[in-house]
Amino acid sequence: SLTLASNLTSVSLSHNSLTSLPLPPSSLPSLTELNVNYNKLSSLSFLAACPALQRLYSAQNALTSLQPLKECAGLQAVCVSGNLLDDLGGTTEALKHLTALEELELDGNPYSSHPSYRALCVGALQGLRMLDGEAVQPGERDKAKQVAKYEERMGDQGSFYTHSDIQVPVGESAPRPLRRPTTSHAHTAAYHARPPPPPPRGG
């Protein structure tokens, strides 16, 4: 049972048609990597079970919010491509508190085809090094500042979708499966745990 496996460090539950993961809070205290790609998850509420998580792969699900990510302050890499995320402001607000975040994949969500999507992500997430598999370039920070200034001047959160005066990289709408970790076969799960501690020495 997952709820009893306190030594697990890596779990892959991809391709299992999961709709939820009913795990008690902090039941996986050693887990640092979780792969739940290609399921039917609509919520990340189960993240309260793994406060030490560093890498989360939850592509191709049905997520509409990333607010539960706040349960995992040490996240360094997040892949949530191909979900139903359509509120870019809500997404960046949920992510900006993850100070260790360096790698992010959001492509394939409704907002990823908007012209200023990449610039707004780069501007909001100062520690980001990779977005959708592409390195963040120094010049992109300057473009992100232009977009932010325009947003502030217009006072319209949706205005960046149609503004054409600011040239920014266009995010791709299709996820790139080659960047995903190797997933388990259909209807299987893989687990990795720390080795058990050595037995106590005799007196």
Q: What is the pLDDT of residues 74-125, one digit of tens each?
A: 999 999 999 999 999 999 999 999 999 999 999 999 999 988 899 889 999 9
In this predicted structure, the answer to whether residue 186 has a pLDDT above a threshold of 70 is no
- What integer is the mean pLDDT of 43-72? 97
What's this model's pTM, rounded to 2 decimal places?
A: 0.77
Judge whether 58 and 33 are in contact, CB under 8 Å: no
- What integer is the mean pLDDT of 7-25? 94
What the block records as the tokens of 51 is 């406060």
In this predicted structure, the answer to whether residue 2 has a pLDDT above a threshold of 70 is no
Count of residues making up the chain: 203
User: What pLDDT is stored for residue 187 in this prediction?
Assistant: 41
Spell out the long-range contacts of 15-19 with Cβ–Cβ below 8 A and sequence spacing 24 or more.
Answer: 15/39, 15/183, 15/184, 15/185, 15/186, 15/187, 15/188, 16/186, 16/187, 16/188, 16/189
**For a pLDDT cut of 70, what percent of the chain falls above it?**
72
Band (173; pLDDT cuts 50, 70, 90): very low
The domain defined by 2-193 folds into 3.80.10
**For a pLDDT cut of 90, what percent of the chain falls above it?**
59
Q: Which residue would you say has higher pLDDT here, 185 or 57?
A: 57
